[in-house]
Every structure is written in structure tokens, then in C-alpha cells.
Amino acid sequence: MVTPVIEVADLRKAYGRRSVLEGVSFQVAEGEIFGLLGPNGAGKTTTVECCEGLRRADGGSVRVLGLDPVRQAAQLRSRIGVQLQQAQLQDALRVGEALELYASFYPRPCDRRELLAQWGLADHRETPFGKLSGGLRQRLFIALALVGNPEVAFLDELTTGLDPQGRRDTWELVRQVRDSGVTVVLVSHFMDEVEALCDRAAVLDGGRIVASGTPRELIARSGIGGTLSFRPGGPLDPAELAGLPGVTGVEESDGRVVVSGTGGYADEVTGLLARRGMVVTGLRIKEHSLDDAYVALTGHRN
Ligand SMILES: Nc1ncnc2c1ncn2[C@@H]1O[C@H](COP(=O)(O)OP(=O)(O)OP(=O)(O)O)[C@@H](O)[C@H]1O
């Protein structure tokens, strides 16, 4: 990895006697969308707040853009953008006023008109915060995180409260933000979101990172594999299939053969069928999703 934008090493944090982070380490590269996943209470927000300089770690080290978020807070603050998890604004504050207020905290804020248009808020410039729908509030919070032209944006619960189309639109906008050179750290509960959006992700559980990598790597690492099923055109010995590398199970029902496996098991099965000259029909391959991998890695249903 080229010089990482975020370097977290052996991060430790306790609230009173309760240890929440027990040696968390990960790195985020420039210009990537990095996801932080984990069950409720896993310590995601605490980790991100240590990166933002909002919380002081008990041990370990955190560097963001090469800066110590606590000791060099003033320098860092102007270079990062933060979407607060349960952010609230005064009901009477208008959308345009909120953006101007947040822009005033930064030395090089972006063009507010463009930002409003980009996030579909142009027609709501004069709308008071209290009158915005849940979806528009969410878009405003994201816009507020970006108004300072940050080099790193921390987005927490990005699409909570958005409808399916709104979520997809938001993902596309976040990709554009990434493509413009901003590094994005995304705290998310939604596996489909991480799978669709993140270049890499880390799974936090029990105060530690239990796995990290691209969504594909996380699925592969969880060892859950997938299934391949078909109707054979002639007799086939299930024991022969079961003996192939990566195959973890073979079942037959209703004339269909269902082979489960991991790694390159599917290539092994199709190779065997080809060697036997076996014609099959109704071939289906089902790969497991990041959702399945998450359950396998953490033992929690999301
Ligand atoms: N200020 C605090 N004082 C005491 N305990 C806290 C404090 N903040 C968080 N905690 C506890 O620390 C644990 C980790 O919280 P944190 O918010 O970091 O987790 P999270 O993974 O972001 O959870 P969620 O997905 O529910 O937002 C939780 O059990 C929480 O109750």
C-alpha cells in the first residue's frame, strides 16, 4: 500500500472498566472507500471517533493524513469531513444557512451551489431543517460532511432512512466523491452497501478486527463458498464428486445434484463433468454474499 491516509495500530479504548477496543489495527489507502463493519456495540463509532480526534485512545497509535488526531486536532479538522451518526440541527435552520454555517468552519469550502445541486437539495435551499423528509435530512448531513472540501470523509450510517432508489443514487454520488480523490471511511450495517460500494472493508468484533480485505476476499476468507447444481445427463457417482478438492458436500434431490464447496470447487466439478463427456442441464451456481460471510466471521446475524 502506498503511504496510507489512515494508520491505526493496536488501538485500545475502555469506557470505565469496560474494554471496547482491544488492539484494533488497519490502514486505509488514499482514494479508496473503506468500510467498517461489525455488530451493534462492536466499537465502530469509537474507532472512527478516535480517528476524528473526538475521543482520546487509551493505547496504540492513530495517524490520519500523517497527523495525530488529538495532539494536532486543529490542523486535522480542516482537512476531514464528518457525518455525525445522530446529527441534529435546529429545526428553524434553513438548508442554505446550515451549509453556510458549516462552510465557515473551513479555510477552503467547496462551491455550495454545486454541492446543493449534486445532492438534490437545490430546490430546498430555503427549507427549514425541521420540515425536511428523512431522506433529505440524510442528504444534507452528507453534504455538510463534504462542504469543507475534505481529503478524508467519515460517513456513519450513510443511507439510513433512504428508499431503495435513494440508496442507489447515494452510492453513485459517494463513488463520484471517491473518484474526485476523497478517501471515504464508511461505517455501515448494510452488507449490500459494503459489497456494492467499498473497495475494502474491515470487520470489527469483540474489540478486534476479525477480517479485512476486498468484499470478495472477505467472502473467500470466511470459507463459506457456494453451491453448484445441475441435472446430470447420465449416471454419476456422488463419491467421485465428493472427493474433488474444495467440495464440502454432495446431495441429490429430485434428479438434481447439488454440490457445495469452497475455493476452486466449481472448476473442479465442471472439469470432471467435461472429462466424463457428461452433458448436464439446468446448471446453477450460487455464490454466497457478504451477508453470509459476515455471519460466518462474527457469528452474528446483522
Ligand atoms: N461514552 C461512553 N461511555 C460508556 N460506554 C460507551 C460510550 N460510548 C460507547 N460506549 C459503549 O461502548 C461500546 C461500543 O460502542 P460504539 O458506539 O463504539 O459501537 P458501534 O459498533 O458503533 O455500535 P453501533 O453499531 O450500535 O453504533 C458499546 O457497548 C457502547 O455502549
- pLDDT tens readout for residues 179-203: 989 999 999 888 888 888 999 999 9
Three-state DSSP state, 282: strand
| 202 within some domain | yes
Atom number, ligand 1, closest to the C-alpha of residue 38: 21
Strand ranges for 65-151 from DSSP E? 80-83
pLDDT class for 86, splitting at 50, 70, 90?
A: low
163 and 104 part of one domain:
yes
pLDDT of residue 294: 80
Q: What is the mean pLDDT of the chain?
A: 90
Task: Find the length of the chain.
Answer: 302
Please check the confidence at residue 109 and state whether its pLDDT lies above 90. Answer: yes
- pTM, two decimal places: 0.83
CA dist 96 and 139 (Å) reads: 13
Please check the confidence at residue 234 and state whether its pLDDT lies above 70. Answer: yes
Mean pLDDT of the 89-103 span: 94
Which of 220, 251, 276 finishes a domain? 220
194 and 248 part of one domain:
no
Mean pLDDT of the 68-73 span: 96
The domain total for the chain is 2
Please check the confidence at residue 204 and state whether its pLDDT lies above 80. Answer: yes
| 1 within some domain | no
User: How far does residue 56's CA lie from ligand 1's centre (Å)?
Assistant: 14
Mean pLDDT of the 256-278 span: 92
125 and 228 part of one domain:
no
pLDDT of residue 159: 80
152 and 17 part of one domain:
yes
| 71 within some domain | yes
262 and 169 part of one domain:
no
Which residue lies with its CA nearest to atom 1 of ligand 1? Answer: 15
132 and 17 part of one domain:
yes
| 117 within some domain | yes
User: How far does residue 11's CA lie from ligand 1's centre (Å)?
Assistant: 15
pLDDT of residue 80: 97
Which of 193, 220, 247 finishes a domain? 220
Contacts with 117 (C-beta within 8 Å, 6 or more apart), sequence order? none
Q: What's 30's domain CATH number?
A: 3.40.50.300
Other beta carbons within 10 Å of 265: 21
173 and 281 part of one domain:
no
Q: What's 260's domain CATH number?
A: 3.30.70
User: How far does residue 172's CA lie from ligand 1's centre (Å)?
Assistant: 30
Please check the confidence at residue 87 and state whether its pLDDT lies above 70. Answer: no
Which of 194, 220, 246 finishes a domain? 220
C-alpha closest to that of 149 among 125, 176, 179, 181 = 181
pLDDT of residue 214: 92
Please check the confidence at residue 88 and state whether its pLDDT lies above 80. Answer: no
60 and 44 part of one domain:
yes
9: Cα within 13 Å, side-chain hemisphere: 6
Residue 49 cell numbers, joined? 471517533
CA dist 69 and 75 (Å) reads: 9
Mean pLDDT of the 127-132 span: 94
**Phi then psi dihedrals of residue 192, to 5 deg:** -65, -35
Highest mean pLDDT among 17-31, 150-164, 287-301: 17-31
pLDDT class for 8, splitting at 50, 70, 90?
A: very high
141 and 172 part of one domain:
yes
Q: Tell me which residue has cell 442507489.
A: 168
pLDDT of residue 169: 87
| 264 within some domain | yes
Q: Ligand 1: which residues within 6 Å by Cβ?
A: 15, 20, 38, 40-46
| Residues 89 and 98 sit within 8 Å (Cβ to Cβ) | yes
| 241 within some domain | yes
Please check the confidence at residue 257 and state whether its pLDDT lies above 90. Answer: yes
| 45 within some domain | yes
| 41 within some domain | yes
171 and 232 part of one domain:
no
User: How far does residue 45's CA lie from ligand 1's centre (Å)?
Assistant: 7
Mutate to test the pocket of ligand 1, among 17, 18, 46 (most ligand atoms within 8 A of CB): 46
252 and 150 part of one domain:
no
Residue 132 cell numbers, joined? 425536511
pLDDT digits (tens, 9 = 90+) for 147-171: 999 999 999 888 877 888 888 888 9
210 and 249 part of one domain:
no
Distances (CA, A) of 69 to 18, 57, 199: 23, 10, 24
pLDDT of residue 263: 79
Please check the confidence at residue 223 and state whether its pLDDT lies above 80. Answer: no
pLDDT of residue 302: 60
For residue 255, the enclosing domain spans 222-298
pLDDT class for 23, splitting at 50, 70, 90?
A: very high
Please check the confidence at residue 63 and state whether its pLDDT lies above 70. Answer: yes
